[in-house]
Each structure stands twice: as structure tokens, then as C-alpha cells.
Amino acid sequence: MNPDKSEEVADPASAGNRAPAEDNAAAVGDAAEVSDVTIESKVPPGGLDYASSGVDIDLEGTAIASLVSALGRSVRGAGSRGAPVDLPGGFGGLIEFGDSLLAMAADGVGSKLQIANALGRLEGVGHDCVAMNVNDLLCVGAEPIAFVDYIATPKPDEAAHAALGASLAEACALARVTLAGGETATLPGIVKELDLSGTALGWLPRDAAITGTSLVAGDVIIGLPSSGIHSNGYSLVRRLVELSGASLSAAAPFDTTHPNREIRLFPTNDGGGISLGEVLLNPTRIYCDPVADLVMSAKQSGSTRGWAQNLDGAGHRLGELSQEGERGDSVGGEFSGPCDFDDIHGIAHITGGGLSNLLRLHPTVGWDIADPLPVPPEFDWIATAGNVDNREMHRTFNMGMGMVVAVSAVAGDAVAAWLAERLAGSRIVGFVSDSGHRVVHTDSTVYFDHY
């Protein structure tokens, strides 16, 4: 769930009245030069936080709980197609479908779109929309298979829709899902600028749901690096940009270098440097490769019902593109992944709420982040320029770790090495504990006892 969905800002640049993307972005692409003008920051002495920027996570949680309590049970009874399957944690929803389960997730890009709209740069937002949905499906052990989008705009814009279509198509190829359709609504009386959301569908064998219920003390926590901010926390980001006077089209006010990720440059970038806008709009990482492949390879144990027959000897889907563009070769013989399926105890998408998302997986175990992944430099800039304390940063942002896989202690090293071969920078970051239902961190101020 994306807590930035419903925000508004004063005088937003709408998709209907902005200049064509090519014209708008020209100034951005060759703009990565540091300005000589000193702009006085208007960040308050007490610093920024998510709530004062417009998103109160606790209030949102209360509102969601109220919504859920008002929903009745499904009219479809247990044993029938479409009957709900109880799923702790809330990463997607599961329903029965014969010998299989179907998984569904719905989400949107959120207020990151307001930066994209302002710059006229929509090439990456389709990735954000697809990623926010398929990454949630991975958390229940599902293989994402299809996606539909919903576009709301105050006025149709041919260039904007073309950019969105290309981005969605590219993202669906990376996620290995079918773009099955969508809906476009022109709503001048409701929306002020373009908005994008979607729904993803996944499937899994009936006995293959990953729910977190098998988590135990001693399990190993493996962190997968993010590509940057992803699609959460942008109310705070936009507030900081506004108050600090930072220019989205000027060079980023920090060294953007970070291992295990690249910044996707705007097409108009002439090599003059990386702009702040390019950093903030870097697309959300899609984790189907390697997480779906891990689950499928672990499931391969001679079963003909499951999905294992679709993998090659390296654990990649046969004949399908990996995120690096490589294809798996069809090979004979049986291949097993780095662990048994029963060794995979939990998967969490680190989105809004940051590390507190881990608490969704199990009602009693604790999480000890003893060796966190390196923090990308944009987070250091946000914390410093916005005077945001470290706990607030870890509750609002992913802080460099976009996905967590928890596995049995005996499988930890093998799974971490297998994931690192496919996504550089993936490694063990901590362990599951029995010291209370909380998340603790090497920084003692970063502590969470509720989601």
C-alpha cells in the first residue's frame, strides 16, 4: 500500500496543460550543472517528518483498519473458486482457484508522479506502478502473471500517454507479466494532474503460500538492495525540495554514486552530469528476478504440478528475459535451487513504513538488523538537508533495502550467495530473534514495535 496516493500540492503541473515532454525535458537533460546561486533553506529548525509533510502513517493505519472492519466476508465459501484465503501481513490477497491459488495486489505510483509531471518525464513511472504491485505478490510466494493499469487525467495528452504506454510495456517485460488491459479516465472535475495505478495478478500452487507463520528465532534475514527511493516517502521529498530551494533540473547536490544501482538518465541527458530530478525519479526496482526464481527453484523437487519445470539450470525462467536482458537456456536434468521450499519462511516488500513492514509477517518474532545495506546518498541528503532524524528516515523510506527474504539458518549462506549472483549487493543483514515483537537496528534510535 502506498501512503502517498491521495496527496495534493498547490498549483501542480498537470499532464493536460504541461508542455510536450521533449520540450520540458530539454532543460533538464543538459541542466546538470551546479548553480552558483545560494538559496536559503526554509526548512524549520525542528526538521521535517512524514506527518508534517502530509502523510501520517499511524492515522492511515487506523483508517485502513476501520475500512477492513467494515468489509463483510466473501459470498464465496471455502472450497469454491474465488473463496478468500486468510493471509497474515497483507501483502496482496489470496483466493482459491482449483488446485491453485490466485494472488492479487493493487497500488499506484503516488506523489512521485507530481515530480514526473512537473519535469515532463514519464519514462520510468510505469516501472514504479508495475513494481509496487508485482513486488507485493512475490511476498506471498506468487509468480506474477498479468497486470492491468488505470490512468486518470484532467485532459488527454497524446505524448504523455505514449510515454506511459512505453514505460508500462517495458516494466511488464521485466516483470515477465502480460499487460492484459487497462482503463483511462478523463476526470477534469476530480483530478488535477495525471495519476497512475494498477492491479497485478499472480498464481501459486495451493500448498505453496509463503505467509511468515514458519518464522522462528535464528532465521537469517537477507536484504536485497533498492534502486533508490522507489515509490514511497515523496510527500516528504517534495516538501524538502520546496523548502530547500533545490532545483530538480540542476545537478544533484551530492555524489550520486552508489554500488549495485544505476541512475536511469533522461533521454535528453547529454552527459553533463546527473540531475536531482533523475535521482528522484529513478524507477522502482522490480524483484521478480531473482525472488520469483528463488521461490520457483526451491519448489522444484520432482513435482509436476508446480512451476519448477519452467526453470533452467541456473534457476532462470526458460527463454524469458532476465532484468539484465539475458536468456536462460533450456537444459535437461533436474535442478534444485539453493534451498528447499520449506527453508523460505518470509518475504517482505520494504515500502511505506520502512523497516516496520517486517512486523507484518509474524505476530511475535523480532527482527535484528545487525549489518544493514549501504544507504544510497539521496537518503543522506534528505536527512541532512531536511534535518530528518534517523528513526523517521527508516520509517518513511527503504534506506537502500527494498526487499527482505527470511530463510532458515541452515540455508542462509547458500541463499544469500545465490541471490547475490543475480542481484549484486544482496547479502545477510541480520537475524530473526525471540526477544519481542520489534525491529531493532545497529542504530539504537531505530526501533519499531508496531507497523
What is residue 332's predicted lDDT score, i.e. its pLDDT?
Answer: 32
What is residue 324's predicted lDDT score, i.e. its pLDDT?
Answer: 38
What is residue 451's predicted lDDT score, i.e. its pLDDT?
Answer: 85
What is residue 69's predicted lDDT score, i.e. its pLDDT?
Answer: 64
All CATH 3.90.650 domain ranges in the chain, comma separated: 220-232+285-448
pLDDT tens for 74-119 read 678 788 898 989 887 668 899 999 999 999 999 999 999 999 999 9
* 126 within 8 A of 166, measured Cβ to Cβ: yes
What is residue 57's predicted lDDT score, i.e. its pLDDT?
Answer: 63
CATH architecture of the domain 220-232+285-448 equals Alpha-Beta Complex (3.90)
What value does the mean pLDDT of the chain take?
Answer: 84
What is residue 39's predicted lDDT score, i.e. its pLDDT?
Answer: 56
What is residue 18's predicted lDDT score, i.e. its pLDDT?
Answer: 31
All CATH 3.30.1330.10 domain ranges in the chain, comma separated: 21-35+49-208+233-280
Low-confidence stretches of the chain (pLDDT beneath 50): 1-38, 301-309, 311-315, 318-335
- Asked if the 21-35+49-208+233-280 domain carries CATH number 3.20.20.60, the reply is no
What is residue 227's predicted lDDT score, i.e. its pLDDT?
Answer: 98
What's the pTM?
A: 0.82
What is residue 299's predicted lDDT score, i.e. its pLDDT?
Answer: 85
